Structure 1
Amino acid sequence: MNPREASVRWLAADGFHSLAYVAWGAPGPRPPIICLHGLTRTGRDFDRLAAALAARGRFVVCPDMPGRGRSEWLANPMLYGVPTYIAACSHLLAALGAETVDWVGTSMGGLIGLAIAALPGQPIRRLVLNDVGPFLPAPALARIRAYVGADPAFADETALEAHLRRVHAGFGPMTEEDWRHLAATSARRVPDGTIRLHYDPAIAAPMPEVAQDIDLWAMWEGISIPILVLRGELSDLLLPETAERMAARPGVALHTVPGVGHVPALVDDDQIGRVAAFLDA
């Protein structure tokens, strides 16, 4: 099964932009599933998961957030933030005609899902949070900030893949095919012949130079939908105590993925099976 590429126009504070996405399967009686990627990633990270969900009869949509993948970059980098991303997602849901959706969010994609789920009249039926929660510790944010603003150039795919293996070592065990796929969907070739990462380095602009803890527990308390939390055993972003506090709330299930950091890649059968079973309920 191959994904279909499409896009929608959406309105930001500085005008209209194009938001790209890939779609798997066909619309049906069940809610669409939105799969939203991490900070520097794209919707193609979910290819393995989306194909499996589509094979179960689900319609799956995996957008590239503004400044990533095939979506337009923003002229004003200070607009790169959750309010802008929510606006883009709102336009996407309207274009899909979706009043209710299921949501799988990895890292930043999970934060966006949390923020939407806390709003009045929100559309999310069931939410999967992949290695993210309502408390983000400063050391992990500093680690992420250190590489996000860089704009490395690679001479070839081998150098690109080596970089991705280093930066995303927390993804855990992946096959050689998985790494090749990640490299193929993570970069673009520019006119000078080099390979660059598939995101605008300016997405780092709104991030503070000196990281501080982010506490969203008040927002968390206003969310009542069923939630599956996946936590990498070695994660520095979703701490054990944060995950345990989340799991203490009724309707929240927690699964710790052994031997994995930030974030579980959602490419192995066990992770995919857990997500699929939760969304099938």
Structure 2
Amino acid sequence: MRLTVSTATSRSVCVWRGVRRDSGGCSRRQRQDAPGGRTAMEQVVLKAQKKDESGKGAARKLRAEGLVPGVIYGLGKETVGFAVQRRELYDLLDKATGGNVLISLDMPDMQIDADTAALIKEIQWSPVHKEALSVDLQWISLKEPVTVSVNITIHGHATGLEEGGSMNQIRYQAEVECLPTDIPEELTMDVTGMQISETRFASDLAVPEGVTLLLDPEEPIATIARPISAADLEVRTDEELPEGELEELALAEEQSEAAAEAAQSTEADGEAEAESDSAE
């Protein structure tokens, strides 16, 4: 069975990571090396307390006490309500790499299998105070592949930038499928040697062993736009219009000029005739 985790979580974490908070009491399990010399995603221990009451009133009371209400579900397990210290949740988000964090939930009276962990599925934020209102966690099996979004970063020295070009990163995230412990911190792409007007694609991303990229190989990731000169900003109609349209425009212009001259001639003749009549 393959589990897809909402990418909305990654976006929330990315937004959050731009704001710093005081560190809380989250602890990390030791990071282990994965097969092939890669580093397995570490699990972060999040302490929680079971939440018995439900409803808006109970949630407001928890927030007033510095807690964030949440629920955890998945893998056919019963949905369980809980609450975590806001400071510890923020510390966990600060530890999130690439928008993903593997969670070992530590809650009294809850038996958790050794091959089970949790991922953040969704966080609701206050649009006014920018505080977390609630958090949804999803149980996952460490032995089954999951689909998550991972951030894309570019590195290297692009030659085209020295020539006045500008780097345009088209895509900043990509979905991958892998075991939870193999979720990469990021996907990287080397732009060394890129020239102006050159594009690099998903096939140029460095994808770790054991990770499947769920993106069309021809999907563009980054391109270098050519510099815009003053001449490029000028409107050069003569170069842009087809030859037939140019002839039509030239003919229309001649006809317009002839009509204007005829009108002026008629007006002049009328004025001369009026003056002659006046003299008589």
TM range (shorter): under 0.3
Q: Which has the larger radius of gyration?
A: 2
Question: When the two structures are superposed, what TM-score results if normalisation uses the length of structure 2?
Answer: 0.22
* Bigger relative contact order, structure 1 or 2 (CA pairs below 8 A, ≥6 apart): 1
Which has the larger helix fraction?
Answer: 1
Which has the larger strand fraction?
Answer: 2
Question: When the two structures are superposed, what TM-score results if normalisation uses the length of structure 1?
Answer: 0.22
